[in-house]
Structure 1
Amino acid sequence: MYIKKILWTLAILGLFVSAIFAYFVYNAMLRPNTAFNNDKAYIYIPTGANFDDVANQLEPLLNDLGSFHTLAKQKKYIDNVRPGKYAIKKGMSNNDIINSIRINNLPVKVSFNNQVSLEKLAGRIANQIEADSLSLIEAMKDADFLNKNNFNEATALGMYLPNSYEFFWNTSANGFRDRMLKEFNRFWNEDRTNKAHEIGLSPNQVITLASIVYEESKQVNEQLRIAGVYMNRLKIGMPLQADPTIKFAAYQLPKYKNTIIKRVLNVHKEIESPYNTYKRLGLPPGLITMPDISAIDAVLNFEKHKFLYFVADAERLGYHKFARTLSEHNKNAREYHRYLSSQGIIR
């Protein structure tokens, strides 16, 4: 009888311990532990963050941070924090949350449009990934990287093709730059490279001309014709005489900072600059803005015609009138200048 009592006591004690353990397992591992109403919440864990940094982000999202901490210690997550963007779904248990922030680093969509400088691009990207703008600028302007990959500071912006891309949020500045180089090399496939060779331009020169074409017209169906005008001028040794390059040259000067030039005047055409295509033959040394892919392809596939001139069309704003002769062009130009004057645009 005495032995039976001991066995019963041990059995009851075992059940009690098992119940406590089961409660702990359920409470710490399996019970839902989210405190938000949305379907998902996101946390961004920076590079070099420790568990306390993670806990600070999770605290407003959880009902019981203590049980999460206990399980995180048990699962050795405390010493294995990984940077990135992670999703916490409503109703997740501590176990689910730890598994998610351990292995499910989510990509983010990084988008940029036609930025006018590396500095502007860096600022745009820094709002979308962990890398800050200063580290991005440093990576983008790294002389060894540029020289190794046939770029310089004047052409470096052309490596970045405006589009949307997937990155991990914790991508470094060098990681972003190196990925963009891969995208650039992928863009310049055999077909595009051969077309550039056929028209006598390097990829960097194509993009430089495309930046002018893009600034002249955002109309995709007109960019081919404008590209043809500039190719005709290059072919006969005529200056490009591109107003967007004059504006670009002007904006580099303190006098024109924080101004908008709506009308290119003779005084602007006298600016001393390698970007003044009224005074200098050939292409400028680099881009004046980041062109759309449509403008790059417009240069590679330019329309073959005999036009040497074009001017904005006052009757169809956003489009242009094209001319083969200077006299015809001057007539078109006078019409547009009269329109500008009627609108009170004198400079």
Structure 2
Amino acid sequence: MSESALFFPAQTPDYLLSFQFSSWYPKFSSISIKSTIIRPLDDAFKEYLDSDGVFVPEGSDNAPAESSLSDDEDGNEDEDADAVGRSFSFPDLDEQIRQTIREYGAVFPKLNFSSPKDASWVLPPSSPLKCTAPSDVYLLLKSSDFVSHDLSTDTVFEGCQYDASNPPSYELELVLRKWYPIDRSREFRCFVREGRLIGISQRDTNFYDFMNEPQTQQRIIEALQRLWEDSIKSKWHGQQDYIFDVLMTRDLSRGHVLDFNPYAIRTDPLLFTYEELSSVFTLESTTPELRIIGSPLHPAASRNAPAHQHNMLPIEALALSSGRGIDEFSDLWQKEIQQSMNDD
């Protein structure tokens, strides 16, 4: 069965917009992570996210900007990067972010649809994606390839049929979610077709021995089916084909909704394929099928490689690259490596 022959709901602008954060969160806030939505955003902020290079706007750090150079040191190296940073400044947005951080303790940012999980390497690995200042928020968003999807109506509504002279209304939004240390082993993706919960997939592709216990698997299925039937099924608006992500509690008895996604090729089916989901749907079972990484040898199991590793580079490289061309950066990076070898 080819992907084109599989069933997918019509990818209309209205259907896709039902999955942006501000569309679903007000209805499901009681079973989700506490979050603040900031909109509208200035055009300058979108221009900043669209601009080349990774840098933070002036004044967005919590600490006052002070030079660390002595009077006899040359500060020309940072001059170009500082000039770029000064060309963008969002004092009002900075304050909104700071207020939310004061309320939540720390935040994790996202835009309408996408989160910058691929940029987690830019912040300390001991607390991934934890933002305690506006500069952290901006750095994550600027370092992410994922969030670029949300910046253009062409990518947001890719595959949709609509009159180009009258494009659908779309407004960029910044979402700040309360940051928690999350146990990835308790994250699941749930698939709903025509108002039926048909499949559940482990989200993290690591092997977890406790998930092989039949009682644990049954507990996961029952808890997620109960969450869907009691708190989601009757409240979901519009098209009855959708995908939602859940973080389960430590005892696997309840869950918190993390996100909703369109039932579409653009959403990763994880341990299923959409062909397999179509087959599961035709079985008309009253119990959803659970897919997990059942062995360290599972073909989808991670091999101790960090997620989104293709997006990563050392933080030293990020600092050296600021305001420099490729040739200049390459020379400096080689000198840095040689110096480290000499020091060792």
Same fold (TM over 0.5): no
Q: TM-score, normalised by structure 1?
A: 0.27
Bigger radius of gyration = 1
